């Protein structure tokens, strides 16, 4: 029996039910798992959809790699030919990157196929063009796997919570960086050696830039913020800092405060101010200290989690594996069944919702708390001088800790809430003070008011 016959067999009794024809773009870690599930779970998928799903082709870059359990006749290097082939109903894109993924998805949508994609970078860069093409053809564009792997978070934001007002979405959406920061916290190791360790164990890529510098999390933050706030947010709208500057002393200082350092994706609706016009949104990715009592603090290893606050539902936490072939394939298959069901009923799911068109707040205006570490000369009045500098810039101090180091001292200041602009001005001024040797670290403190 061929693969095609196996996944598109007749329904029980009567005429064979015509299958929905599925094209798969990419057969890497996720794609091969999707193909395997399409074949192994064919009869359950057929029962759930109401029609068989027939895998009609798999586009790959090279044909010469053995792919166990998959019919060699399914493979092609002509991806454009596959998506524009007559009668293809559903296209799954798991090749990633901007091109050729964008052209292939647009071609699929224009040829009338619904698309399921895991491509966060493309959605964050050019989601509006994809939505418009889907809308024009009256087909679906689904992308649960683009954010946080297996965790259902796109559909909850896009559908389950669409009647509510979401005020913030805070996520640990990158497993690689969470693994590294967690190891630094639990083993006291430095960033560089932990990264090497993570690479050796397969938790980090040979080129870790997209993860470590926050690009991956920023793309996911843009997608989450767009959905939560009904506003187009692109990757370029996201303020981004990675984790390579996080030191063992930051981690130790967080620990002393009962906190932990995490790379957070923070999507927040600005507070309402009377007469100040529409509320904006801030979207940022950076390392931050959060109290160990916060639900996100308990997310260890390479796991992901997304913490949502909304007006009516209150606080919701979504947690699970954020990457990997099998978990990501679960999200892809969930979308595939949904768009297939829509197809069977001649319906389409939600399109883009960007009616609110909220302004994006510049990072200067974002208000949060800060942990500032300084090396100072241990002389009479240094504390007063430093405190005065914070006060002059309108930044209120919550706590100060001092530790003697010979003739010098280390000061750790935690502030009350202040704007990023005020804190930056304070740090610039601190650096000019004769008694301040250096401002060694500045980190945001999140998760409590």
Please state, in angstroms and rounded to a whole number, the distance separating the CA atoms of residues 390 and 385: 9
Q: Provide the sign of the torsion angle of the four alpha carbons 228, 233, 235, 236, taken in this order.
A: negative
Q: Which residue, 216 or 420, is less far from ligand HSE as judged by CB?
A: 216
CB of 323 to ligand HSE, least distance (A): 4
Tell me which of 120, 183, 220, 262 is the catalytic residue: 220
Alpha helices per DSSP H over 207-321: 209-212, 215-229, 248-256
- Identity of the residue, 305 or 414, whose beta carbon is nearer to ligand HSE in the bound complex: 305
Q: Which is nearer to ligand HSE, 206 or 272 (CB)?
A: 206
Nearer CB in complex with ligand HSE: 173/386 = 173
CA distance 121 to 105: 13
What is the smallest separation between the CB atom of 206 and ligand HSE, expressed in angstroms?
A: 12
Token pair of 141 as six digits: 């564009």
CB of 177 to ligand HSE, least distance (A): 7
Cβ-Cβ contacts under 8 Å for 104 (sequence gap 6 or more): 25, 59, 79, 80, 83, 91, 93, 95
Read off the tokens for 72. 């060699």
Residue nearer to ligand HSE on the CB measure, 104 or 302: 302
Residue 13: Cβ-neighbour burial (10 angstroms; 0-12, 13-18, 19+): exposed
175 versus 349: smaller Cβ distance to ligand HSE: 175
Category of 381 on φ-ψ map: left (φ > 0), alpha (ψ -120 to 50) or beta? left
Q: How far apart are CA 229 and CA 269, in angstroms?
A: 8
| Interacting residue ranges for ligand HSE, rule: CB under 6 A | 174-176, 211, 216, 322-323
Contact, 46 vs 54, CB < 8 A? no
Catalytic-residue membership of 220? yes
Smallest distance, ligand HSE to C-beta of residue 147, A: 8
| CB nearer ligand HSE, residue 28 or residue 188 | 28
CB-CB contact of 77 with 60 (8 Å): yes
Please compute, for residue 242, the number of CA atoms within 13 A of its CA located in the half-sphere on the CB side: 15
Give the integer Cα–Cα distance in Å for 410 and 404.
6
Rounded Cα distance, 310 and 326, in Å = 31
The Cα 210–Cα 217 span in angstroms is: 8
| Shortest distance (Å) from residue 181 CB to ligand HSE | 12
- Shortest distance in whole angstroms from residue 334 CB to ligand HSE: 17
For ligand HSE, the closer CB: 176 or 310: 176
Give the DSSP per-residue string, 43-106: HHHHHHHSS-EEEEEEE-S-S-S--TTS-GGGEES-HHHHHTSTT--EEEE-S-SSTTHHHHHH
Least separation in angstroms between residue 179's CB and ligand HSE is: 8
DSSP letter assigned to residue 278: S
Least gap, CB of 173 to ligand HSE (angstroms):
7
* Residues known to be catalytic: 220
């Amino acid at each position: 029996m061929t693969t095609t016959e196996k996944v598109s067999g007749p329904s029980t009794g009567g005429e064979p039910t015509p299958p929905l024809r599925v094209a798969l773009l990419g057969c890497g870690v996720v794609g091969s798992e999707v193909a395997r599930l399409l074949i192994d779970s064919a009869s359950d998928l057929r029962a759930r959809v109401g029609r068989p799903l027939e895998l009609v082709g798999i586009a790959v870059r090279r044909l010469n790699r053995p792919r166990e359990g998959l019919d060699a006749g399914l493979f092609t290097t002509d991806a454009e030919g596959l998506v524009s082939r007559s009668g293809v109903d559903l296209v799954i894109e798991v090749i990633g990157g901007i091109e050729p993924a964008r052209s292939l998805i647009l071609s699929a949508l224009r040829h009338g196929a619904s698309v399921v994609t895991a491509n966060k970078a493309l959605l964050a860069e050019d989601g509006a063009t994809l939505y418009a093409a889907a809308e024009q053809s009256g087909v679906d564009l689904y992308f649960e796997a683009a954010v946080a792997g297996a965790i259902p978070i796109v559909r909850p934001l896009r559908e389950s919570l669409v009647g509510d007002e979401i005020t913030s979405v805070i996520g640990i959406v990158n497993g690689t960086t969470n693994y590294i920061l967690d190891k630094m916290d639990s083993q006291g190791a430095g960033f560089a050696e932990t990264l090497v360790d993570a690479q050796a164990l397969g938790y980090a890529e040979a080129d870790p830039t997209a993860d470590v510098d926050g690009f991956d999390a920023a793309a996911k933050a843009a997608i989450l913020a767009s959905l939560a706030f009904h506003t187009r947010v692109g990757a370029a709208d996201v303020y981004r800092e990675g984790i390579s500057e996080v030191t063992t002393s930051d981690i130790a200082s967080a620990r002393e405060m009962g906190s932990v350092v995490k790379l957070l994706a923070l999507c927040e609706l600005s507070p309402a101010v009377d007469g100040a016009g529409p509320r904006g949104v801030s979207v940022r990715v950076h390392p931050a200290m959060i109290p160990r009592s916060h639900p996100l603090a308990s997310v260890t290893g390479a796991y992901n989690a997304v913490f949502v606050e909304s007006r009516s539902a209150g606080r919701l936490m979504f947690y699970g594996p954020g990457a990997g072939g099998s978990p990501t394939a679960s999200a892809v298959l969930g979308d595939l069944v949904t768009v297939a069901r829509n197809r069977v009923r001649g319906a389409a799911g939600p399109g883009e919702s960007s009616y609110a068109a909220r302004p994006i707040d510049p990072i200067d205006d974002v208000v949060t708390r800060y942990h500032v570490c300084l090396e100072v000369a241990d002389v009479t009045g240094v504390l007063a001088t430093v405190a005065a500098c914070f006060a002059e810039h309108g930044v209120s101090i919550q706590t100060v800790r001092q530790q003697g180091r010979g003739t010098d001292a280390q000061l750790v200041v935690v502030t009350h809430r202040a704007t990023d602009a005020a804190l930056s001005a304070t740090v610039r001024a601190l650096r000019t003070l004769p008694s301040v040797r250096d401002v060694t670290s500045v980190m945001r403190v999140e998760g409590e008011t």
